[in-house]
Amino acid sequence: MNSLKPDGLVQLTGIAAPFLRHDVLIDYIAPPQAGLHEHGTAQTPTGEAANASGQRLQQAFPLDRYLADGSENPEFILNQTPWRNASILLAGRNFGIGGTQTPAATRLLGSGIRAVIAPSFGPVFLDDCIQAGLLPVILGQRQVEAIAAAAVAAPRRELTIDLQRQTISRPDIGPIAFQMNPRLRERFMGGLSDIEETVPFQREAEAFQRGHELRQPWIYRSTGDPR
């Protein structure tokens, strides 16, 4: 069971899917052009086929997750039991690289993934994760590989990410400590938006502005102000 606050995350427990590819592009997670298949062939479905195609394109990794005829690719890890129910993705280094603004983090969330554990992330993707509420956890490559090996050996055993303790554990592994920026940790635990993060500092900001206006009042005067 996940220990959740409203729209926040304190502890996440779930199936972890091993997906240890390195240098995964943002555009691979969420291709920007609808209907573009792996060989670059653009297709324009209609009717029910269009609806099914639209639903597939809302999933992460649609080019490998589905075959050209629209059926599931049985070789793809997230189409296999029990990993089709994974809420945690174990990824390789430089996950989500590239600068294209596509909804990669949102697509992963829409596919049931709530957290990604990787040695490193692309900066644009990392920022998207923070904005979307997809938890990015940075862990050493050997540690990620060890967790992935355990996931392959016993795929139904659940992994727990505890933000309060900053640990990752399974019944057969851990706890493994990880570090997260304190501000980001509080943001995820509280489910805070950019604006909500600033609320605790609002009074300080207002007091600073009043003091600054007293010290340098000319900055706040409009043109033609007689004061």
107 with 30: CB under 8 angstroms?
Answer: yes
Closest to 170 in 3D by CA, of 76, 75, 88, 78: 88
- Strand residue runs (E) in the chain: 11-14, 16-19, 88-91, 115-118, 135-138, 159-162, 167-170, 173-177
Residue 104 is predicted with a pLDDT of 94
- Cβ-count burial of 149 within 10 angstroms (0-12 exposed, 13-18 middle, 19+ buried)? middle
33 with 186: CB under 8 angstroms?
Answer: no
Residue 194 is predicted with a pLDDT of 56
71-100 pLDDT per residue, tens? 999 999 999 999 999 999 999 999 999 977
Domain boundaries, the chain: 11-220
Q: Quickly name the fold that domain 11-220 has.
A: Aconitase; domain 4 (3.20.19)
Question: Which residues does the chain have with pLDDT short of 50?
Answer: 1, 3-6, 34-51, 195, 197-199, 201
Global confidence as pTM: 0.77
164-189 pLDDT per residue, tens? 999 999 999 989 999 999 989 999 99
